[in-house]
Amino acid sequence: MNPPLRIGLAGLGTVGGGTLKILREHAPMLAERCGRALEITAVCARDRDKKRSADTQGLRWVDDPMALASDAQIDVIVETIGGSEGQARALVEAALTNGKSVVTANKALIAHHGIGLAALAEKSGAVLAFEAAVAGGIPIIKAMRDGLAANRFVRIAGILNGTCNYILTDMWVRKRGFDEVLAEAQALGYAEVEPSFDVDGIDTAHKTAILASLAYGIAPAIDKVHVEGIRAITLRDMEFADELGYVIKLLGIAALTEHGLEQRVHPCLVEKSSQLASVHGVYNAILAQGDAVGTVLFEGRGAGAGPTASSIVADLMDIARGALYKPFTLPVSALKIPSFADMAQLHCSYYLRLGVVDRPGVLAEITNIFKAENISLRAVVQHSHKPGEVVQLVLTTHETQEAAMVSAMRAIERSHSVREKPFMIRIEAL
Protein backbone atom coordinates (compact mmCIF):
# COMPACT_ATOMS: atom_id res chain seq x y z
CA MET A 1 0.00 0.00 0.00
CA ASN A 2 1.13 3.57 -0.69
CA PRO A 3 2.33 5.83 2.16
CA PRO A 4 -0.50 7.35 4.21
CA LEU A 5 -1.98 10.75 3.47
CA ARG A 6 -0.99 12.75 6.54
CA ILE A 7 -3.69 15.15 7.71
CA GLY A 8 -3.59 18.19 9.98
CA LEU A 9 -7.03 19.04 11.38
CA ALA A 10 -7.66 22.64 12.47
CA GLY A 11 -10.81 22.95 14.55
CA LEU A 12 -12.67 20.28 16.51
CA GLY A 13 -16.14 21.77 16.67
CA THR A 14 -19.21 20.14 15.15
CA VAL A 15 -17.71 19.67 11.69
CA GLY A 16 -14.13 19.00 12.77
CA GLY A 17 -15.30 16.46 15.33
CA GLY A 18 -17.50 14.78 12.74
CA THR A 19 -14.55 14.57 10.35
CA LEU A 20 -12.32 13.02 12.99
CA LYS A 21 -15.02 10.49 13.86
CA ILE A 22 -15.40 9.32 10.24
CA LEU A 23 -11.64 9.13 9.69
CA ARG A 24 -11.20 6.96 12.77
CA GLU A 25 -14.29 4.77 12.60
CA HIS A 26 -14.06 4.12 8.84
CA ALA A 27 -10.26 3.95 8.61
CA PRO A 28 -9.96 0.42 7.10
CA MET A 29 -12.68 1.05 4.52
CA LEU A 30 -11.22 4.43 3.52
CA ALA A 31 -7.74 2.94 3.13
CA GLU A 32 -9.12 0.15 0.97
CA ARG A 33 -10.99 2.58 -1.28
CA CYS A 34 -8.06 5.01 -1.60
CA GLY A 35 -5.19 2.57 -1.77
CA ARG A 36 -3.58 4.37 1.18
CA ALA A 37 -4.45 5.25 4.74
CA LEU A 38 -5.94 8.62 5.73
CA GLU A 39 -3.98 9.39 8.87
CA ILE A 40 -4.60 12.22 11.33
CA THR A 41 -1.09 13.49 12.11
CA ALA A 42 -1.92 16.53 14.24
CA VAL A 43 -4.91 18.51 15.48
CA CYS A 44 -5.46 22.01 16.76
CA ALA A 45 -8.36 23.36 18.81
CA ARG A 46 -8.80 26.16 21.33
CA ASP A 47 -9.55 23.91 24.29
CA ARG A 48 -7.73 20.61 24.66
CA ASP A 49 -9.78 19.58 27.68
CA LYS A 50 -13.23 20.13 26.20
CA LYS A 51 -15.41 17.03 26.11
CA ARG A 52 -15.97 15.95 22.50
CA SER A 53 -18.02 13.30 20.73
CA ALA A 54 -14.98 12.18 18.72
CA ASP A 55 -12.10 10.30 20.35
CA THR A 56 -8.96 12.48 20.48
CA GLN A 57 -6.86 10.02 22.46
CA GLY A 58 -3.34 9.59 21.13
CA LEU A 59 -3.47 12.57 18.78
CA ARG A 60 -0.62 15.07 18.56
CA TRP A 61 -1.87 18.53 19.54
CA VAL A 62 -0.52 21.91 18.47
CA ASP A 63 -1.59 25.16 20.09
CA ASP A 64 -1.20 27.42 17.07
CA PRO A 65 -3.03 26.41 13.86
CA MET A 66 -0.36 28.19 11.81
CA ALA A 67 2.10 25.53 12.96
CA LEU A 68 0.19 23.00 10.86
CA ALA A 69 0.98 24.95 7.68
CA SER A 70 4.73 24.45 8.10
CA ASP A 71 4.70 20.98 9.63
CA ALA A 72 6.82 18.64 7.51
CA GLN A 73 4.78 15.65 8.72
CA ILE A 74 1.54 17.00 7.19
CA ASP A 75 0.44 16.68 3.55
CA VAL A 76 -3.02 18.25 3.72
CA ILE A 77 -4.82 20.66 6.03
CA VAL A 78 -8.50 20.34 6.92
CA GLU A 79 -9.75 23.79 7.96
CA THR A 80 -12.94 23.82 10.06
CA ILE A 81 -12.26 27.02 12.02
CA GLY A 82 -14.70 29.10 10.00
CA GLY A 83 -14.96 32.77 9.04
CA SER A 84 -13.65 34.61 6.00
CA GLU A 85 -10.77 36.30 7.82
CA GLY A 86 -8.49 35.77 10.80
CA GLN A 87 -6.93 32.41 11.56
CA ALA A 88 -8.89 30.51 8.92
CA ARG A 89 -7.71 32.68 6.04
CA ALA A 90 -4.15 32.93 7.33
CA LEU A 91 -3.86 29.16 7.78
CA VAL A 92 -5.24 28.31 4.33
CA GLU A 93 -3.05 30.88 2.58
CA ALA A 94 0.06 29.67 4.40
CA ALA A 95 -0.70 26.00 3.74
CA LEU A 96 -1.27 26.52 0.00
CA THR A 97 1.85 28.69 -0.27
CA ASN A 98 3.84 25.84 1.31
CA GLY A 99 2.42 23.33 -1.17
CA LYS A 100 0.05 21.63 1.26
CA SER A 101 -3.39 20.84 -0.08
CA VAL A 102 -6.40 22.23 1.78
CA VAL A 103 -9.90 20.86 2.36
CA THR A 104 -12.43 23.28 3.83
CA ALA A 105 -16.14 23.66 4.51
CA ASN A 106 -15.72 27.43 4.82
CA LYS A 107 -18.17 28.97 2.33
CA ALA A 108 -17.48 32.54 3.48
CA LEU A 109 -13.74 32.10 2.90
CA ILE A 110 -14.27 30.65 -0.58
CA ALA A 111 -16.88 33.25 -1.58
CA HIS A 112 -14.72 36.19 -0.50
CA HIS A 113 -11.18 34.95 -1.19
CA GLY A 114 -11.55 31.85 -3.37
CA ILE A 115 -9.87 33.34 -6.44
CA GLY A 116 -6.76 34.34 -4.50
CA LEU A 117 -6.59 30.96 -2.81
CA ALA A 118 -7.03 29.17 -6.14
CA ALA A 119 -4.11 31.16 -7.53
CA LEU A 120 -1.93 30.09 -4.59
CA ALA A 121 -2.92 26.46 -5.15
CA GLU A 122 -2.05 26.65 -8.84
CA LYS A 123 1.32 28.22 -8.13
CA SER A 124 2.36 25.62 -5.55
CA GLY A 125 0.73 22.59 -7.17
CA ALA A 126 -1.58 22.00 -4.21
CA VAL A 127 -5.27 21.14 -4.25
CA LEU A 128 -7.94 23.46 -2.85
CA ALA A 129 -11.13 21.45 -2.24
CA PHE A 130 -14.42 22.73 -0.80
CA GLU A 131 -17.20 20.25 -1.54
CA ALA A 132 -18.52 20.73 1.99
CA ALA A 133 -18.86 24.51 1.56
CA VAL A 134 -22.16 24.20 -0.31
CA ALA A 135 -25.12 22.09 0.82
CA GLY A 136 -23.29 19.91 3.35
CA GLY A 137 -23.41 16.28 2.30
CA ILE A 138 -24.91 16.90 -1.15
CA PRO A 139 -22.10 16.38 -3.73
CA ILE A 140 -23.11 19.38 -5.84
CA ILE A 141 -19.57 20.71 -6.43
CA LYS A 142 -18.34 17.42 -7.88
CA ALA A 143 -21.54 17.03 -9.88
CA MET A 144 -21.16 20.42 -11.53
CA ARG A 145 -17.41 20.17 -12.03
CA ASP A 146 -17.41 16.57 -13.32
CA GLY A 147 -20.71 14.79 -13.93
CA LEU A 148 -22.46 17.76 -15.55
CA ALA A 149 -19.37 19.27 -17.19
CA ALA A 150 -20.71 18.71 -20.73
CA ASN A 151 -23.63 21.11 -20.13
CA ARG A 152 -24.19 24.80 -20.59
CA PHE A 153 -26.05 25.68 -17.43
CA VAL A 154 -29.36 27.44 -17.98
CA ARG A 155 -30.00 28.09 -14.30
CA ILE A 156 -29.05 26.95 -10.82
CA ALA A 157 -31.71 27.37 -8.13
CA GLY A 158 -31.57 26.00 -4.64
CA ILE A 159 -32.71 25.87 -1.06
CA LEU A 160 -29.26 26.35 0.42
CA ASN A 161 -29.85 27.16 4.09
CA GLY A 162 -31.36 24.56 6.37
CA THR A 163 -32.11 27.04 9.15
CA CYS A 164 -34.30 29.19 6.90
CA ASN A 165 -36.04 26.18 5.42
CA TYR A 166 -36.71 24.81 8.91
CA ILE A 167 -38.19 28.14 10.04
CA LEU A 168 -40.42 28.51 6.98
CA THR A 169 -41.57 24.90 7.26
CA ASP A 170 -42.37 25.20 10.97
CA MET A 171 -44.21 28.50 10.51
CA TRP A 172 -46.56 26.84 8.03
CA VAL A 173 -46.99 23.44 9.66
CA ARG A 174 -47.56 24.77 13.18
CA LYS A 175 -49.18 28.08 12.13
CA ARG A 176 -46.78 30.31 14.04
CA GLY A 177 -45.02 33.62 13.45
CA PHE A 178 -41.39 34.11 12.43
CA ASP A 179 -40.16 35.45 15.79
CA GLU A 180 -41.68 32.56 17.76
CA VAL A 181 -40.23 29.91 15.45
CA LEU A 182 -36.81 31.58 15.38
CA ALA A 183 -36.66 31.66 19.19
CA GLU A 184 -37.45 27.96 19.38
CA ALA A 185 -34.94 27.15 16.62
CA GLN A 186 -32.27 28.97 18.64
CA ALA A 187 -33.20 27.04 21.78
CA LEU A 188 -32.94 23.74 19.86
CA GLY A 189 -29.60 24.70 18.29
CA TYR A 190 -30.97 24.89 14.72
CA ALA A 191 -30.30 28.65 14.62
CA GLU A 192 -27.40 30.66 16.03
CA VAL A 193 -27.84 33.10 18.91
CA GLU A 194 -27.01 35.80 16.35
CA PRO A 195 -29.06 34.47 13.40
CA SER A 196 -28.42 37.20 10.80
CA PHE A 197 -25.98 35.10 8.77
CA ASP A 198 -28.76 32.60 8.09
CA VAL A 199 -32.10 34.45 8.18
CA ASP A 200 -30.86 37.53 6.32
CA GLY A 201 -29.68 35.41 3.39
CA ILE A 202 -25.92 35.95 3.77
CA ASP A 203 -25.07 32.26 4.05
CA THR A 204 -27.18 31.49 0.99
CA ALA A 205 -25.47 34.33 -0.90
CA HIS A 206 -22.02 32.82 -0.24
CA LYS A 207 -23.17 29.47 -1.59
CA THR A 208 -24.90 31.05 -4.59
CA ALA A 209 -21.73 32.91 -5.55
CA ILE A 210 -19.75 29.65 -5.40
CA LEU A 211 -22.28 27.74 -7.53
CA ALA A 212 -22.37 30.59 -10.08
CA SER A 213 -18.59 30.50 -10.36
CA LEU A 214 -18.65 26.77 -11.16
CA ALA A 215 -21.58 27.03 -13.55
CA TYR A 216 -20.36 30.00 -15.56
CA GLY A 217 -16.59 29.95 -15.26
CA ILE A 218 -16.21 33.14 -13.24
CA ALA A 219 -14.43 34.16 -10.06
CA PRO A 220 -16.83 34.13 -7.09
CA ALA A 221 -18.50 37.56 -6.99
CA ILE A 222 -20.20 37.81 -3.62
CA ASP A 223 -20.49 41.60 -3.95
CA LYS A 224 -22.70 41.11 -7.04
CA VAL A 225 -25.33 38.95 -5.30
CA HIS A 226 -28.68 40.60 -4.56
CA VAL A 227 -29.62 39.49 -1.03
CA GLU A 228 -32.91 39.49 0.89
CA GLY A 229 -33.78 37.35 3.91
CA ILE A 230 -36.95 35.92 5.43
CA ARG A 231 -37.63 38.19 8.43
CA ALA A 232 -40.55 39.93 6.67
CA ILE A 233 -42.38 36.71 5.75
CA THR A 234 -45.60 36.29 7.72
CA LEU A 235 -47.97 33.39 8.25
CA ARG A 236 -50.53 35.55 6.47
CA ASP A 237 -48.35 35.49 3.33
CA MET A 238 -48.05 31.73 3.59
CA GLU A 239 -51.82 31.38 3.81
CA PHE A 240 -52.36 33.55 0.75
CA ALA A 241 -49.62 31.67 -1.11
CA ASP A 242 -51.28 28.35 -0.28
CA GLU A 243 -54.63 29.65 -1.53
CA LEU A 244 -52.99 30.67 -4.79
CA GLY A 245 -51.22 27.31 -5.24
CA TYR A 246 -47.74 28.19 -3.99
CA VAL A 247 -45.31 27.70 -1.11
CA ILE A 248 -42.68 30.17 0.06
CA LYS A 249 -39.00 29.23 -0.04
CA LEU A 250 -35.75 31.18 0.31
CA LEU A 251 -33.84 30.47 -2.89
CA GLY A 252 -30.37 31.18 -4.19
CA ILE A 253 -30.50 31.59 -7.97
CA ALA A 254 -27.85 32.01 -10.65
CA ALA A 255 -28.74 32.35 -14.33
CA LEU A 256 -27.13 33.76 -17.44
CA THR A 257 -29.63 36.07 -19.16
CA GLU A 258 -29.65 38.53 -22.05
CA HIS A 259 -29.01 41.28 -19.47
CA GLY A 260 -26.03 39.53 -17.91
CA LEU A 261 -25.45 37.12 -15.03
CA GLU A 262 -28.14 37.07 -12.37
CA GLN A 263 -27.06 36.21 -8.83
CA ARG A 264 -29.91 36.66 -6.38
CA VAL A 265 -31.10 35.43 -3.00
CA HIS A 266 -34.63 36.18 -1.84
CA PRO A 267 -37.92 34.57 -0.77
CA CYS A 268 -39.88 33.13 -3.69
CA LEU A 269 -43.33 31.76 -4.32
CA VAL A 270 -42.88 28.40 -6.06
CA GLU A 271 -45.72 26.28 -7.36
CA LYS A 272 -46.77 23.35 -5.17
CA SER A 273 -45.97 21.02 -8.09
CA SER A 274 -42.31 22.16 -8.13
CA GLN A 275 -39.70 19.69 -6.91
CA LEU A 276 -38.40 22.30 -4.47
CA ALA A 277 -41.83 22.86 -2.92
CA SER A 278 -41.72 19.47 -1.17
CA VAL A 279 -38.28 20.01 0.42
CA HIS A 280 -38.98 20.67 4.09
CA GLY A 281 -37.24 21.14 7.43
CA VAL A 282 -33.46 21.33 7.55
CA TYR A 283 -33.05 19.75 4.11
CA ASN A 284 -31.32 21.48 1.20
CA ALA A 285 -32.00 20.96 -2.50
CA ILE A 286 -30.49 22.26 -5.72
CA LEU A 287 -32.06 22.25 -9.18
CA ALA A 288 -29.39 22.33 -11.89
CA GLN A 289 -30.73 22.98 -15.37
CA GLY A 290 -28.38 22.04 -18.20
CA ASP A 291 -28.97 22.34 -21.93
CA ALA A 292 -28.17 18.65 -22.51
CA VAL A 293 -29.22 16.88 -19.30
CA GLY A 294 -32.31 18.94 -18.58
CA THR A 295 -33.23 19.48 -14.92
CA VAL A 296 -31.45 17.48 -12.23
CA LEU A 297 -32.41 17.62 -8.54
CA PHE A 298 -29.96 17.12 -5.68
CA GLU A 299 -31.48 16.84 -2.20
CA GLY A 300 -30.18 16.01 1.26
CA ARG A 301 -29.07 17.37 4.61
CA GLY A 302 -27.24 20.63 4.11
CA ALA A 303 -25.50 20.93 7.46
CA GLY A 304 -24.51 19.05 10.59
CA ALA A 305 -21.56 16.97 11.68
CA GLY A 306 -22.24 13.87 9.59
CA PRO A 307 -23.25 15.34 6.20
CA THR A 308 -20.58 18.06 6.17
CA ALA A 309 -17.86 15.71 7.39
CA SER A 310 -18.89 13.21 4.71
CA SER A 311 -18.04 15.78 2.03
CA ILE A 312 -14.77 16.74 3.71
CA VAL A 313 -13.61 13.13 3.84
CA ALA A 314 -14.67 12.63 0.20
CA ASP A 315 -12.34 15.51 -0.76
CA LEU A 316 -9.54 13.94 1.29
CA MET A 317 -10.09 10.68 -0.58
CA ASP A 318 -9.79 12.48 -3.92
CA ILE A 319 -6.47 13.95 -2.83
CA ALA A 320 -5.28 10.57 -1.53
CA ARG A 321 -6.02 9.06 -4.96
CA GLY A 322 -3.95 11.74 -6.66
CA ALA A 323 -6.74 13.88 -8.09
CA LEU A 324 -5.60 17.22 -9.45
CA TYR A 325 -8.27 19.70 -10.49
CA LYS A 326 -8.83 23.42 -10.68
CA PRO A 327 -10.96 24.66 -7.76
CA PHE A 328 -13.29 26.58 -10.08
CA THR A 329 -12.98 24.15 -13.01
CA LEU A 330 -10.90 26.58 -15.12
CA PRO A 331 -7.42 27.97 -14.44
CA VAL A 332 -7.57 31.32 -12.65
CA SER A 333 -6.29 33.10 -15.76
CA ALA A 334 -9.21 31.68 -17.80
CA LEU A 335 -11.98 32.73 -15.42
CA LYS A 336 -14.26 35.28 -17.03
CA ILE A 337 -15.38 38.69 -15.82
CA PRO A 338 -19.03 38.79 -16.89
CA SER A 339 -21.49 41.64 -16.97
CA PHE A 340 -23.96 41.31 -14.13
CA ALA A 341 -27.68 41.84 -14.54
CA ASP A 342 -29.26 44.56 -12.47
CA MET A 343 -32.29 43.55 -10.40
CA ALA A 344 -34.28 46.25 -12.16
CA GLN A 345 -33.97 44.12 -15.33
CA LEU A 346 -35.35 40.96 -13.73
CA HIS A 347 -38.37 39.58 -15.60
CA CYS A 348 -40.79 37.46 -13.56
CA SER A 349 -44.22 37.36 -11.95
CA TYR A 350 -44.98 38.95 -8.59
CA TYR A 351 -47.09 38.56 -5.45
CA LEU A 352 -48.13 41.81 -3.77
CA ARG A 353 -49.94 42.13 -0.42
CA LEU A 354 -51.65 45.40 0.47
CA GLY A 355 -53.54 46.62 3.52
CA VAL A 356 -56.21 48.99 2.18
CA VAL A 357 -59.28 50.84 3.45
CA ASP A 358 -62.66 49.32 2.71
CA ARG A 359 -64.36 51.72 0.35
CA PRO A 360 -65.60 51.70 -3.25
CA GLY A 361 -63.05 52.39 -5.97
CA VAL A 362 -59.93 51.22 -4.13
CA LEU A 363 -59.34 48.20 -6.36
CA ALA A 364 -59.89 50.34 -9.47
CA GLU A 365 -57.34 52.83 -8.16
CA ILE A 366 -54.77 50.06 -7.62
CA THR A 367 -55.39 48.44 -11.01
CA ASN A 368 -55.03 51.82 -12.74
CA ILE A 369 -51.57 52.16 -11.21
CA PHE A 370 -50.61 48.77 -12.63
CA LYS A 371 -52.12 49.73 -15.98
CA ALA A 372 -49.96 52.86 -16.08
CA GLU A 373 -46.86 50.66 -15.68
CA ASN A 374 -48.13 48.21 -18.32
CA ILE A 375 -48.41 45.42 -15.74
CA SER A 376 -51.06 42.75 -16.29
CA LEU A 377 -52.74 41.22 -13.23
CA ARG A 378 -53.21 37.46 -12.98
CA ALA A 379 -55.23 37.06 -9.78
CA VAL A 380 -56.82 39.14 -7.03
CA VAL A 381 -57.68 37.76 -3.57
CA GLN A 382 -59.57 39.59 -0.82
CA HIS A 383 -60.72 37.93 2.38
CA SER A 384 -63.85 38.81 4.31
CA HIS A 385 -63.30 41.15 7.23
CA LYS A 386 -64.97 42.91 10.12
CA PRO A 387 -66.27 46.46 9.59
CA GLY A 388 -63.57 49.05 10.22
CA GLU A 389 -60.66 46.63 9.71
CA VAL A 390 -57.97 47.15 7.12
CA VAL A 391 -58.70 44.84 4.19
CA GLN A 392 -55.92 42.49 3.07
CA LEU A 393 -55.73 42.64 -0.70
CA VAL A 394 -53.40 40.30 -2.57
CA LEU A 395 -52.59 40.56 -6.26
CA THR A 396 -50.39 38.44 -8.51
CA THR A 397 -49.09 39.62 -11.85
CA HIS A 398 -48.14 38.11 -15.15
CA GLU A 399 -44.44 38.37 -16.00
CA THR A 400 -43.16 41.93 -15.98
CA GLN A 401 -39.92 43.78 -15.38
CA GLU A 402 -38.90 44.49 -11.80
CA ALA A 403 -38.34 48.18 -12.57
CA ALA A 404 -42.02 48.52 -13.50
CA MET A 405 -43.10 46.63 -10.39
CA VAL A 406 -40.98 48.81 -8.10
CA SER A 407 -42.40 51.94 -9.73
CA ALA A 408 -45.95 50.65 -9.23
CA MET A 409 -45.26 49.85 -5.57
CA ARG A 410 -44.02 53.39 -4.95
CA ALA A 411 -47.17 54.83 -6.49
CA ILE A 412 -49.35 52.45 -4.44
CA GLU A 413 -47.52 53.39 -1.25
CA ARG A 414 -48.37 57.05 -1.86
CA SER A 415 -52.08 56.28 -2.14
CA HIS A 416 -54.29 57.44 0.74
CA SER A 417 -56.20 54.18 0.37
CA VAL A 418 -53.20 52.08 1.46
CA ARG A 419 -52.69 51.76 5.23
CA GLU A 420 -49.81 49.25 5.35
CA LYS A 421 -46.50 49.20 3.53
CA PRO A 422 -46.92 47.07 0.37
CA PHE A 423 -45.09 43.76 0.55
CA MET A 424 -43.78 41.99 -2.55
CA ILE A 425 -42.49 38.46 -3.18
CA ARG A 426 -41.20 37.28 -6.54
CA ILE A 427 -42.81 34.22 -8.14
CA GLU A 428 -40.19 31.82 -9.51
CA ALA A 429 -41.15 29.42 -12.29
CA LEU A 430 -39.23 26.18 -11.68
* Residues marked as catalytic: 207
Rounded CA separation 396/403 (Å): 16
Q: Give the strand pairing for 101-104 and 76-79.
A: parallel
Which of 119, 106, 137, 329 has the alpha carbon at shortest distance from 206? 106
- The 3-state secondary structure of the chain reads CCCCEEEEEECCCHHHHHHHHHHHHCHHHHHHHHCCCEEEEEEECCCCCCCCCCCCCCCCECCCCHHHHCCCCCCEEEECCCCCCHHHHHHHHHHHHCCCEEEECCHHHHHHHHHHHHHHHHHHCCCEECHHHCCCCCCHHHHHHHHCCCCCEEEEEEECCHHHHHHHHHHHHHCCCHHHHHHHHHHHCCCCCCCHHHHCCHHHHHHHHHHHHHHHCECCCHHHCEECCCCCCCHHHHHHHHHHCEEEEEEEEEEEECCEEEEEEEEEEEECCCHHHHCCCCEEEEEEEECCCEEEEEEEECCCHHHHHHHHHHHHHHHHCCCCCCCCCCCHHHCECCCECCHHHCEEEEEEEEEECCCCCHHHHHHHHHHHCCCCEEEEEECCCCCCCCEEEEEEECCEEHHHHHHHHHHHHCCCCECCCCEEEEECCC
> Residue 321, Cβ neighbours under 10 Å: how many?
13
Q: Is the distance from CB of 64 to CB of 90 less than 8 angstroms? A: no
Instruction: Assign residue 393 a region (left: φ > 0; alpha: ψ between -120 and 50; beta: otherwise).
Output: beta
Q: Is the distance from CB of 151 to CB of 289 less than 8 angstroms? A: no
